[in-house]
Copies of this chain bind each other. A is one copy, B any other.
């Protein structure tokens, strides 16, 4: 995998020309994070950065079975047919266990994968969420530099992965199914607050009635949160991705959102905020990792915790003690 300078420049040129093979290779290079490639990775990212940031980034979440793949495929087809270039990425920190529960099986989007203007990238290989986040965010930049103007970033919603996707996208979609009654029970904390729209999928046949009821319930739920500063009130829509019903309305809604936040400055604001968030988040994660992986701390931490729980030490005194130890 060792590359010559010439090869890297060719790779970058390929990405910038929108060559999908080059884009794939560049993402693989970034994902490797091998120390041998540090300089190459830096060169690729810094060459792509000035050409990035021009897309609309849409985050999509929902539990397994909600129909995310079908929904993304239909939305993707709708967009490529209109002339957009669409890239689909995924954040799935669970993929080591599930062996790629999302996007792993490319046949799930068999029409979209054949579109010349679509690029589908299976989930980044497993590791910490922080690592996956970085890879995904850098992949977004590369896709944008390759001319993809709509990014669909999918997550299956394990652990903090929705928060991660929310913090790297412009619009956040929550896919739901209508169930038997109380739709709001069991929804993960904070998800409703993050959503710019909730789509009740599989609203077809016998599901239409419960879907309409769910729409009312979710609309009330959204109403309970303080209005967002960006001038957008989150919407609830019905869709049946399998029958290609409602997709058009979803896209009209997202376009409207983009128009509003681009004109009132919140689009730029949010991206600037996200940049700063990823800067500080990366720094702070690294500081914590270094501290807790320090051999002395690893050895002492359980002992100190025991002393706290048996009231021999206050948590603050214990913190002071460990902080001093880490510096020795």
Contacts and interface: CB of A to CB of B under 8 A. Distances in A.
Contact of A193 (B134, B189, B311, B317): B189
Contacts of A226: 185-189
Interface stretch (A10-18, A66-74, A148-156, A280-288): A280-288
Interface residues of A, number: 52
Contacts of A312: 46, 49-50
Contacts of A316: 134, 137-138, 278, 282
B283 A53 contact: no
A261 interface: no
A221 interface: yes
Contacts of A279: 304-305, 308, 315, 318-319
Given A45-B317, A185-B226, 18 more contacts: A46-B312, A49-B311, A134-B316, A137-B314, A137-B315, A137-B316, A141-B314, A184-B224, A188-B226, A224-B224, A272-B309, A279-B304, A282-B319, A283-B319, A283-B322, A284-B284, A287-B287, A287-B323
Contacts of A305: 276, 279
A106 interface: no
A243 interface: no
Contacts of A275: 308-309, 315
A42 interface: yes
Contact of A52 (B186, B187, B284, B311): B311
A291 interface: yes
B315 A282 contact: yes
Copies in the complex: 2
Contacts of A185: 224, 226-227
Contacts of A313: 46, 49
A225 interface: yes
A309 B193 CA distance: 27
Nearest to A278: B315
A286 B42 CA distance: 31
Contacts of A287: 284, 287-288, 291, 323
A134 B275 CA distance: 32
A322 B189 CA distance: 34
The 9 A-B pairs at the shortest CB distance, nearest first, are namely A282-B319, A278-B315, A279-B315, A287-B287, A184-B224, A49-B311, A283-B319, A275-B308, A275-B315
Contacts of A291: 283, 287
A278 to B, nearest CB: 4
A235 to B, nearest CB: 18
